[in-house]
Amino acid sequence: MDAQSAEQLVQKKCLPCEGGVAAYSQADAEQQLAKLAGWRLTHDGKRIRKDWKMKNFLAGMEFFSAVARVAEADQHHPDLHLEEYRKVWIELWTHAIGGLSENDFILAAKIDEISS
């Protein structure tokens, strides 16, 4: 599987996933992550995560609101976490397959556009 650039990924739309497709292998996920700054594998290669430190609590909540709008538009929803009032992290994975799909990398690239 060829890794796609962040620019290629943001041009795509997440596709509905009801299962029946293979999850990315750890090697394929690592190859794709090399194109996305700051994201890392978690849960034995079945999820990706990125952390940010926001200016303050309100900035974190505004970031989550912007992420929610993008996620809802693509119908692919991340796990959003806020700790210690301004540390935020997002975790992505495709629940229907219990691992990573192209949708996770598409949404990660779109989230990176918000946070830059």
41 occurs within a structural domain: yes
**1 assigned to some structural domain:** no
Range of the domain at 42: 23-115
Residue 14: what pLDDT? 87
59-76 pLDDT, tens digit each: 999 999 999 999 999 999
Q: Is residue 18 part of a domain?
A: no
| Per-residue pLDDT tens over the stretch 10-63 | 999 988 877 778 899 999 999 999 999 999 999 999 999 999 999 999 999 999
Reported as a pLDDT band with limits 50, 70 and 90, residue 1 is low
Q: Is the pTM of this model over 0.85?
A: yes
In a domain, 75, yes or no: yes
12 falls within a domain:
no
Q: What is the CATH number of the domain that holds 83?
A: 3.30.1360.20
Total of domains in the chain = 1
b/e per residue, 65-87, with b = 16+ CB within 10 A? eebeebbeeeebebeeeeeeebe
User: Strands 79-83, 40-42: parallel, antiparallel or unpaired by DSSP?
Assistant: unpaired
Residue 111 lies in a domain: yes
